[in-house]
Amino acid sequence: AQSVSQHNHHVILSEAASLELGCNYSYGGTVNLFWYVQYPGQHLQLLLKYFSGDPLVKGIKGFEAEFIKSKFSFNLRKPSVQWSDTAEYFCAVNRPGSARQLTFGSGTQLTVLP
């Protein structure tokens, strides 16, 4: 069974700092990879996704993620965070064509200090 690890449970940054959130998955086959964001009191929204092609994926709000197959990683990055980026971030994975849908990591709470 696939699993997803997010090693950073809570990250605190000041505005304009750079962000990198780690995500590792355990599945040897082809996978689709996702980052979702949950702003306080809201539902999950898709930030970006990867399934093939360029391993550097750009998403909304200036976020990007890099798929490194040899490391089973899909880390999320942003060069300069804003206070409005305060949220919980979830990495998720599924197998192409699988109806069992997404396996989520435990999430990383990002707090950006003004």
Partner 1 sequence: NAGVTQTPKFQVLKTGQSMTLQCAQDMNHNSMYWYRQDPGMGLRLIYYSASEGTTDKGEVPNGYNVSRLNKREFSLRLESAAPSQTSVYFCASSNPGQAVPEAFFGQGTRLTVV
Q: By CB under 8 A, name the binding residues for partner 1.
A: 4, 6, 9, 32, 34, 42-46, 49, 51, 90, 94, 96-107
Grouping H, G, I as helix, E, B as strand and the rest as coil, residue 91 is: strand
By C-alpha distance, which of 40, 58, 41, 37 is closest to 49? 58
* Residue among 73 and 109 whose Cβ is closer to partner 1: 109
**Which residue bears the tokens 């998720």?**
92
For residues 47 and 62, the answer to whether their CB atoms sit within 8 Å is: no
* Residue among 14 and 42 whose Cβ is closer to partner 1: 42
Nearest-approach distance from CB 16 to partner 1, in angstroms: 29
Q: H or E element: which one contains 57?
A: strand 56-58
* Residue among 99 and 114 whose Cβ is closer to partner 1: 99
Nearest-approach distance from CB 21 to partner 1, in angstroms: 13
DSSP state for residue 84 in the 8-state scheme: G
Nearest-approach distance from CB 114 to partner 1, in angstroms: 25
Grouping H, G, I as helix, E, B as strand and the rest as coil, residue 35 is: strand
Nearest-approach distance from CB 111 to partner 1, in angstroms: 15
